[in-house]
Amino acid sequence: MKAFSHSLISCCLLGSILLATTDSIAQVECSDSVPSPLLPPSEVIAEDHPGDAGGAIIVRWKLSPDEAKRITGYEILRSTSPTGEFSSVGFAATGANRYVDANTEDSLTYYYKVVAVDVNKNASESELSPPARSSAQWFNFHLLNLLIIGGLICGAVIYFIAHAKKGKKLFLRRIAGLEAVDEAIGRATEMGRPILFIPGILDMDDVQTIAGITILGRVAKTIAQYETKLNVPTSRSIVMSTAMETVKEAYISAGRADAYSDDFVHYVTDEQFGYVAAVDGIMVRERPATCFYIGAFFAESLIMAETGNSIGAIQIAGTAMPAQLPFFVAACDYTLIGEELFAASAYLSGEPKQLGSLKGQDVGKIIAMSAIVIGAALETIFAISGSSLFGSLAELMHKLFSIVAG
C-alpha cells in the first residue's frame, strides 16, 4: 500500500513536470511566431468638401480589419499624380474614417492613400483613391434649416416694420428699467452732477455695443433737453467715433447743437483693467449722479458697479453677458437682462423700424416655444410608447434643428 502511494505521488509529480514543460514549449512556440501582416484600410474615396468656399477635400475610408487590435491611427498621403510621389498631409486618430484636407488648390487634381499605422510603426497602405478636385459652392445645403428659420424671422421683421410704417400701433409691454431712464436723468439735472455712460468694452462688431450706442442716442437726446453734462469714456476707437456721431445727432435733433461738445465722448484705453481704473477714477472724482452700463462687459462689471454704488449714483445696467448679469442685478438699481437690452432701444425710440424688428423677434420666440413643446411632447410619447412613428417624428425635429459643422 505504501509502495503504491509512493508510485502515485511520483506519477503525479512526473505528470506535473511534463505539463509544465509542454506549457513552456507552447509559450516559446507562440512568442516565436511571426505576426500576421497589417491589413490596410479599404474603399478610399476622396471628393470635394461640400458647401464651402473651395480649398478642401474630404477623404473617407473603410477601417482596417485590424482596427480593434493594434492600429494607432491613419496617415493621409496626397499626390497630384497617381504615379507621383505621395507626401503626408495629416494624421487621423484610431477609429476615424474621414479626414478633411483643408489645404488644397481648386485648380489641381489630387490622389489620396490612407496608411494604417500600428503600435510597432508598421504601415499598410491602401489602394489609390479616385481623383478629386476641390471647388467652391454657391449654396451650403447643410445650412438650409438656418435659411428657413432665419427667413421666417426676417420675413416677420419686414412685415411688422411695414405694418408700423403704415401708422398702425404696435403693442409693446413696458420694461421697468427703461422707465427709470428719464427719472435718473432728471435726478442728475436736479443735483447738478454729470451722467456717466459706459458702452461696454467690446468693439462695434458686437451687437450689444450697437444696442448700447442706440440707447446712448436716446439718453443723450434727453440730456440735451435737460442741459446736463454727459461723460462717455470708451475703450475702443471705433466705438468712440460712433458714440460721438450718435451724441452729436441727438443734440442736433433736440435743437441743442450749440450745447454739444466733442469732449463728451473720449477714448481711454483698449486695456480692460486700465479702462476700469480710469472709469473708477472718474466716478470718485466727478461723482456722477447717474451711471449707465449698457453693452458687453466682462470682469470689470462688478468693479465699476460697486464703485458707482459707493458714490450713491442711480445705476442702470444692460448686458447680454450671462456671467456679468448677476453682478449688475446685485449692484445696480435697474438691470436690462439679455434681450431686454435689445428691446430697450426700440421701446425708447418708438421708431417703426425698431418696433417692427422687436415684434419680428417675438415671432422667433413663438417658433422656438412651439418647437420645444412639440419636440418635447414627441420625445415623451416615444419614450413611453416606443412607437416608431413618434420616434421618426422626434428624429425629424432633431434634424430640423441640427447644426452641421461641415
d(CA 320, CA 328): 11
Q: State which of positions 104-143 bind another protein (CB under 8 A).
A: 143
Supply angle C-alpha 283, 288, 291, rounded to 5.
85
Query: CB under 8 Å, gap of 24 or more: what pairs does 276-284 form?
Result: 276/300, 276/303, 276/304, 278/233, 279/196, 279/198, 279/233, 279/304, 279/307, 280/304, 280/307, 282/196, 282/231, 282/233, 283/196, 283/307, 283/308, 283/311, 283/313, 284/311
Question: Do residues 124 and 58 touch, judged by C-beta distance below 8 A?
Answer: no
Q: Are strands 195-198 and 123-125 parallel, antiparallel or unpaired?
A: unpaired
d(CA 182, CA 347): 13
Residue 1 interacts with another protein (CB under 8 A)? Answer: no
146: alpha, beta or left? (left if phi > 0; alpha if psi -120 to 50):
alpha
Proportion of the chain in helix, strand, coil states, percent, rounded to 5: 50, 20, 30
Q: In this chain, which of 268, 296, 304, 317 binds another protein, going by CB under 8 A?
A: 268
Tell me the closest approach of the beta carbon of residue 247 to another protein, in angstroms. 13
For residue 279, give the nearest of 308, 239, 319 by alpha carbon.
Answer: 308
Q: With respect to another protein, which residue has the nearer C-beta, 84 or 326?
A: 326
Q: In this chain, which of 97, 122, 135, 145 binds another protein, going by CB under 8 A?
A: 145
Contact region for another protein (CB under 8 A) — 32-40, 70-78, 169-177, 215-223? 169-177
Q: With respect to another protein, which residue has the nearer C-beta, 228 or 324?
A: 324
Contact region for another protein (CB under 8 A) — 33-41, 90-98, 128-136, 366-374? 366-374
Strand, helix or coil for residue 211 = helix
Q: In this chain, which of 45, 128, 259, 371 binds another protein, going by CB under 8 A?
A: 371
Residue 300 interacts with another protein (CB under 8 A)? Answer: no
Q: State which of positions 196-255 bind another protein (CB under 8 A).
A: 204-207, 210, 238, 241-242, 244-245
Query: CB under 8 Å, gap of 24 or more: what pairs does 86-90 form?
Result: 86/111, 86/113
Q: With respect to another protein, which residue has the nearer C-beta, 191 or 278?
A: 278
Tell me the closest approach of the beta carbon of residue 96 to another protein, in angstroms. 24
Which grid cell is 267? 477714448
Strand, helix or coil for residue 393 = helix
Contact region for another protein (CB under 8 A) — 72-80, 107-115, 220-228, 261-269? 261-269
Q: With respect to another protein, which residue has the nearer C-beta, 63 or 283?
A: 283
Q: State which of positions 44-103 bind another protein (CB under 8 A).
A: none
Q: With respect to another protein, which residue has the nearer C-beta, 67 or 306?
A: 306
Which grid cell is 191? 443735483
Tell me the closest approach of the beta carbon of residue 136 to another protein, in angstroms. 17
Q: With respect to another protein, which residue has the nearer C-beta, 160 or 292?
A: 160
* Run of H or E including 124: strand 123-125
Residue 376 interacts with another protein (CB under 8 A)? Answer: yes
Residue 270 interacts with another protein (CB under 8 A)? Answer: yes
Tell me the closest approach of the beta carbon of residue 123 to another protein, in angstroms. 32
Q: With respect to another protein, which residue has the nearer C-beta, 128 or 397?
A: 397
Q: With respect to another protein, which residue has the nearer C-beta, 126 or 354?
A: 354
Count of residues that interact with another protein, criterion CB under 8 A? 72
Tell the residue number behind the cell numbers 423677434, with chain if given: 361
d(CA 113, CA 70): 20
Contact region for another protein (CB under 8 A) — 47-55, 87-95, 106-114, 318-326? 318-326
Residue 359 interacts with another protein (CB under 8 A)? Answer: yes
Contact region for another protein (CB under 8 A) — 53-61, 116-124, 216-224, 392-400? 392-400
* Run of H or E including 369: helix 352-385
Residue 161 interacts with another protein (CB under 8 A)? Answer: no
Q: With respect to another protein, which residue has the nearer C-beta, 11 or 148?
A: 148
Q: With respect to another protein, which residue has the nearer C-beta, 52 or 340?
A: 340
Tell me the closest approach of the beta carbon of residue 69 to another protein, in angstroms. 33
386: alpha, beta or left? (left if phi > 0; alpha if psi -120 to 50):
left
